[in-house]
Amino acid sequence: MTGTMTQTLEPRGGHEHATNPPAPPPAPTSFAQEQLWLLDRLIPQRQAYNVPGRFRLRGALDRELTARTLRALMERHPALRTAMIEDDGDLWQHVRPTSAVPVPLDWHDLRGLAEAERAERERELALAEAAAPFDLDRAPLWRAVLVRTAEQEHVLLLTLHHIITDGWSIQLFLDEFCQLYAALAAGLPSPLAPLAGSPAASAQRQRELLRTGGLDRERAYWRAELAGAPATMPALAGRPRPAKPSYRGAAVEFTLPTELVERTEALGRRLRASPFMVFLAAFETVLLRCTGRTDILVGTPTSGRGGPDEEKLFGFFVNSLPLRTDLSGSPSFVDAVKRIRATTLAALDHQALPFEEIVRESAGRRGISHHPVFQVLFALTLLQENAEFGALTIEPLPTARTGTAKFDLAMMLYRSASGMRGAVEFATDLFDRDRVERLVELWTALLAAVLADPELPVDSDLLPHPAPEDLAAPDEQPPTGVPAAPTTAPETADRALLATVWREVLGLHTLDPDQDFFDLGGHSLLAMRITARVGAALDLDLPMTVLFQNPTLARFCAAVDAALAEADQPAPGADEPTTTSTSEGQS
């Protein structure tokens, strides 16, 4: 065997672990799914919300059993056969019947390649899988590739769209894959208990809570917590923020010395704080020393699961929480950890409000030039350990990068039995790699310094300093490329139509042309309805980005006028006669 063999596998015979229930009726999406669906249409790098996984499988792997195991998982978890369908401005989860969705499993046999060529080919496959976008209206929104690298070894490339999954779900996928594979191999029934609930039911319950005021306590907390918060962090890179971010990104990876991790955990125990809180305190100290700002906003993900039943569901439950810390008054590092501990615990106590609703309660301006509320993310993840099922073991491997960034900066720490590693993902619109490398070095050095003397003030001259070129400007400039907003809507024949559409969609009797769409209660689905109705009425292809970039009626009218004028322009060469010439002697 000298090359690569690719097969698409489907199970043969019956589904021993399947009941193949009928598909449920369409259900509303969650608020978080709405946001991801919108971003899929707004951003140029659609693979930004791909979630790639890479795992080494050692042992004798039966291909047919693998396909049957994946089929059983699809039958068990509706999210694995769900598509997102937009219908007249509303977004719905459509769970397809199991029989209508193929198992998305490909097989590549690389045993015939030389070792170096085999490694390069596996790397290429991993990068290609991570970078290939999904069509959200077509199920399944995940795919798997098995790469055979040796007689008793495979690499599993698992790629899912974030709209159906989160980190918790991937661990659940692997755990249940192991149990189902072992049961199928032994001819036994599924060992998994029936599920109580579904992601769609959880989304409906969340919407009902919001509608009936069940989350008013959380809403009031976040409104007060984010009052007067800065709209953006000062850029650390010295480059202006573009009006239309490219979402291109890269990452700097690093490993933390074991001694630093152990000392961090020891300080956390002393202060009744988690390692996450101590690491975050050092990170926020770096942000303070680079920006001069003491009002620090950093986001972090939480599981978003409300109890044991939801912990067993595969789906997109994760929620994002803003953590706002006041580092004014030159606190010691110990005091900074205590402040972050209090902030984190309070945020967790009010985590039930979806981030999309937190955004509405914040006073910050929304748009597409930056992530709302916070632009810097900090996360600590406990990595799954090697799993065994029968004669097979599954070992997690470093994943391929998608070449994208969803935030200005995202520092992600990964804890496992073998130690702690990290990665800082950064937007290449704003940062050069060497700048981020210096940031990681500064954070590591500062962490060592404050662990040696935790009573040092966070602004102490005894702590490591950022390089002069890494200091942020005092005030960030507004995004470049944003046109000035007209003070009144232009008098055009279509102004009345556009104003009527805005009023009807937003449920308003009167409308000031200079009021912001988001301040009026607008959100992604309402933006979709406005642009869809205006586009249909004017026979105009009008993307939602037009409204996000022009969020007042006045600016929206001007943008629509410009689009109409451009549409009326003849295509280059449209008025020239079309001729066909034949060269002499050509038959």
Kindly report, residue by residue over 473-513, the tens digit of the pLDDT. Answer: 655 444 444 444 444 444 454 788 888 888 888 888 888 88
* Sheet containing strand 82-87, strands side by side: 27-28, 90-95, 82-87
Question: Is 422 found in the same domain as 293?
Answer: yes
pLDDT tens readout for residues 417-464 = 888 999 999 999 999 999 999 999 999 999 999 999 999 999 999 999
Place of tokens 């038959």: 587
Do residue 330 and residue 197 come from a single domain?
A: no
Q: Say yes or no: 18 and 150 in one domain.
A: yes
What pLDDT does 237 receive? 62
Given a cut of 60, is residue 19 above it in pLDDT? no
Q: How far apart are CA 250 and CA 211, in angstroms?
A: 40
Q: What is the CATH number of the domain that holds 370?
A: 3.30.559.30
Give residue 211's pLDDT.
93
How many residues does the structure list for the chain? 587
* Model pLDDT for residues 158-213, shown as the tens digit of each residue: 999 999 999 999 999 999 998 999 999 999 999 999 999 999 999 999 999 999 99
Both tokens assigned to 127? 């990068």
Specify whether 503 is located in the same domain as 442: no
Residue 223 belongs to a domain: no
Task: Decide if pLDDT at 570 tops 60.
Answer: no
Q: Tell me the pTM.
A: 0.83
| Residues facing 86 on adjacent strands | 91
Do 36 and 125 belong to one domain? yes
- Report the DSSP pairing between strands 142-150 and 153-161: antiparallel
* Same structural domain, 299 and 338: yes
User: Domain residues for 83?
Assistant: 5-201
Pair 454, 504 in one domain: no
In this structure, the answer to whether residues 451 and 508 fall within a common structural domain is no
**Residue 93 sits in the same domain as residue 173:** yes
Cα 407 to Cα 47: distance, rounded to the nearest angstrom: 14
Would residue 147 count as lying in a domain? yes
Is 245 among the domain residues? yes
**Residue-level pLDDT at 156:** 96
Q: Is residue 578 part of a domain?
A: no
Indicate whether 324 and 427 sit together in one domain: yes
Residue 159 lies in a domain: yes
Q: 575 pLDDT exceeds 60?
A: no
Q: Is residue 355 part of a domain?
A: yes
Any idea what the CATH number is for the domain that residue 67 is in?
Answer: 3.30.559.10
Q: Which of 470, 503, 529 is the last residue of a domain?
A: 470
187 and 237 both lie in a single domain = no
- Looking at the structure, tell me whether residues 336 and 436 fall in a common domain: yes
The model's confidence at residue 66, banded by pLDDT at 50, 70 and 90, is very high
* pLDDT per position as a tens digit, 366-396: 667 788 999 999 999 988 777 777 778 888 8
- 539: domain CATH number? 1.10.1200.10
Domain for residue 38, yes or no? yes
* Structural domains in the chain (count): 3
Identity of the amino acid at 235: A
Q: Write the DSSP symbol of residue 234.
A: P
Bridge-based pairing of strands 50-58 and 153-161 is: antiparallel
Intra-chain end-to-end CA distance of the chain, in Å: 46
Residue 452: strand, helix, or coil: helix
Q: Does residue 206 belong to any structural domain of this protein?
A: no
The mean pLDDT of 217-238, rounded to a whole number, is 86
Nearest by Cα to 376 from 328, 416, 419, 436: 436
